[in-house]
Amino acid sequence: MSSTGIPESIARLIGELSKLPGIGEKNATRLAFHIFRYPRENADNLVKAIIDTRTKVILCEECFTFASQSPCSICTGADRDRSSICVVEEPLDMIAVERSGEFKGRYHVLHGLISPIEGIGPEDLKVKELLGRLKEGSVREVLLATNPSVEGEATALYLARLIKPLGIEVTRIAHGIPMGGDIEYIDEITLSKAIRDRRHM
Amino acid sequence: MSSTGIPESIARLIGELSKLPGIGEKNATRLAFHIFRYPRENADNLVKAIIDTRTKVILCEECFTFASQSPCSICTGADRDRSSICVVEEPLDMIAVERSGEFKGRYHVLHGLISPIEGIGPEDLKVKELLGRLKEGSVREVLLATNPSVEGEATALYLARLIKPLGIEVTRIAHGIPMGGDIEYIDEITLSKAIRDRRHM
């Protein structure tokens, strides 16, 4: 029992939960007590899911997303269009694109973005591996789906300059006003981008 | 691999994390991927802390807080004033009072509040156990530190009526404007309570 009256095991659990992104100490305390009071089955399932994630999930050696086997089911999928690759920063971005149902090709996960400030260069990302895949010859289009941030734009520009000389079409996801968004409240950079990229109807 | 491209182990971890209070599916997804990418030591520590919390933490048979041994170190503490007991709803409230450093007595955790709407009566709380402790004779003051909610006030009133006939002083934590609060923006119920409970200076 620590001096604050929290048993040492719970104090350690609070500490471990606080290390997770977006979880402060107060939140971690609530979660820890919740886990203590959990039905046995829930607690067992949580522990098992963590262990399984750590032991059974690997990186696909083709596209570098998280997967149960390598190459992953998307890379080997008979229904996937092998002529296009969507480049994303993180596996979570890939999942978002998948959920949209709009893209039928394969993916390539960079695992980061070029950021001189943070000292992250192309050699720290899966750029070499992407070029290797493109040189195989079956890819006709690379869709750059990095975030519309400074780093995301810089990375997209860098990749476009590398890939275009290979004779492959390079496209970028559209930026603009989100569906349901309000022109009155949208930031001016997005609005100016949306006007510049206006389309015929 | 599920149809959304998430490996089954991670999908299960996302499901388990989503069951925790205040964690939605998006948040759970971020956490799950973070746990996957964790250094091995962090992941091991998290799992161990959950298991330890489930196996090593018990309820103190005196005050019913979470503890490593029973009776807990506060109940047995030589420096604790055995003449006063602070009654709280949850162990987290006890920890908050402990952190204030203002209370030197012992605690009693009710594990809930009286709530006719939710069908929770005194028999569902550790009320009988509290009366048992009071009848031992060493307690002179009971400080009721339940939340200033409808249920918290009702529970405090109920306990006060039970305890006063035993010849024990019953006190209630003060309600009022929080330190650093702004009179202009405080809700009217708190302000009227603060005026009614005004003190001589």
Q: Are the Cβ atoms of B36 and A10 closer than 8 angstroms?
A: no
Q: Are the Cβ atoms of B68 and A7 closer than 8 angstroms?
A: yes
List of chain A residues whose C-beta atoms are within 8 Å of the C-beta of residue B67? 1, 7
- CA of A43 to nearest chain B CA: how many angstroms apart? 8
Give the C-alpha distances (Å, rounded to integers) separating B70 from A6, A7, A78, B4, B50: 13, 11, 61, 48, 20
Q: Binning pLDDT at 50, 70 and 90, where does residue A99 land? A: confident
CATH 1.10.8.420 range(s) for chain B read 8-56
pLDDT tens for B76-96 read 999 999 999 999 999 888 988
Q: What was the pLDDT predicted at A41?
A: 92
* pLDDT exceeds cutoff 60 at A3: no
Q: What was the pLDDT predicted at A1?
A: 43
Rounded mean pLDDT, B114-122: 93
Measured from the Cβ of residue A117, the count of other Cβ atoms closer than 10 Å reads 7
Rounded mean pLDDT, B20-34: 91
Calpha distance B57→B89 (Å, rounded): 19
Rounded mean pLDDT, B122-145: 94
- CA of A56 to nearest chain B CA: how many angstroms apart? 7
List of chain A residues whose C-beta atoms are within 8 Å of the C-beta of residue B4? 95, 98-99
Q: What are phi and psi of A59, to 5 degrees?
A: -95, 135
Residue A56's DSSP bridge partners are none
Q: What was the pLDDT predicted at A122?
A: 95
Q: Are the Cβ atoms of B35 and A50 closer than 8 angstroms?
A: yes
Judging by DSSP bridges, how do beta strands A169-172 and A141-144 pair with one another? parallel
Q: Binning pLDDT at 50, 70 and 90, where does residue B131 land? A: very high
pLDDT tens for A76-87 read 999 999 999 999
Q: Which of the pair, A98 or B4, is modelled with greater confidence?
A: A98
Q: What was the pLDDT predicted at B170?
A: 94
User: Considering Cα of B187, then B193, then B197, then B200, what sign does the dihedral take?
Assistant: positive
Rounded mean pLDDT, A139-162: 93
Q: Are the Cβ atoms of B9 and A42 closer than 8 angstroms?
A: no
With vertex at residue A58, the alpha carbon angle to CA A52 and CA A62, rounded to the nearest 5 degrees, is 155
Q: Side-chain half-sphere of A125: how many Cα atoms within 13 Å?
A: 27
The answer to whether A56 and A79 have CB atoms below 8 angstroms apart is no
pLDDT tens for A58-82 read 999 999 999 989 999 999 999 999 9
Q: Which of B6, B7, B74 sits opposite A5 (nearest CB)?
A: B74
Q: Binning pLDDT at 50, 70 and 90, where does residue A8 land? A: confident
Tokens of B155: 């529970």
Tokens of A62: 């083709």
Q: Write down the CATH number for the domain with range A73-200.
A: 3.40.1360.10
* pLDDT exceeds cutoff 70 at B4: no
One-letter amino acid of A67: A
Rounded mean pLDDT, B57-78: 92
Q: Which of the pair, A6 or A111, is modelled with greater confidence?
A: A111
Q: Which of B8, B33, B50 sits opposite A47 (nearest CB)?
A: B50
The answer to whether the predicted template modeling score (pTM) of the entire model surpasses 0.80 is: no
* pLDDT exceeds cutoff 90 at A19: yes
Q: Are the Cβ atoms of B30 and A95 closer than 8 angstroms?
A: no
Tokens of B169: 């002083």
Predicted complex ipTM: 0.72
* pLDDT exceeds cutoff 70 at B41: yes
With vertex at residue A133, the alpha carbon angle to CA A128 and CA A136, rounded to the nearest 5 degrees, is 130
Give the C-alpha distances (Å, rounded to integers) separating B3 from A59, B7, B98: 17, 9, 50
Q: What was the pLDDT predicted at B28?
A: 93
pLDDT tens for A163-197 read 999 999 999 988 888 877 787 787 888 888 778 78
**3-state SS class at A70:** coil
CATH 3.40.1360.10 range(s) for chain A read 73-200
Q: Binning pLDDT at 50, 70 and 90, where does residue B98 land? A: confident
CATH 1.10.540.10 assigned to B8-56: no
Q: Are the Cβ atoms of B43 and A50 closer than 8 angstroms?
A: yes
User: Considering Cα of A39, then A42, then A43, then A45, what sign does the dihedral take?
Assistant: positive
Calpha distance A106→A133 (Å, rounded): 11
* Helical pair B8-18 and A40-56, crossing angle rounded to 10 deg: 150
* pLDDT exceeds cutoff 90 at A198: no
Q: What was the pLDDT predicted at A15?
A: 94
Which of the residue ranges B3-17, B25-39, B81-95, B114-128 would you say has the lowest mean pLDDT? Answer: B3-17
Tokens of B191: 């302000």
One-letter amino acid of A154: A
Calpha distance B25→B15 (Å, rounded): 8
Q: Are the Cβ atoms of B91 and A30 closer than 8 angstroms?
A: no
One-letter amino acid of A5: G
Residue B87's DSSP bridge partners are B108, B144
Q: Binning pLDDT at 50, 70 and 90, where does residue B1 land? A: very low
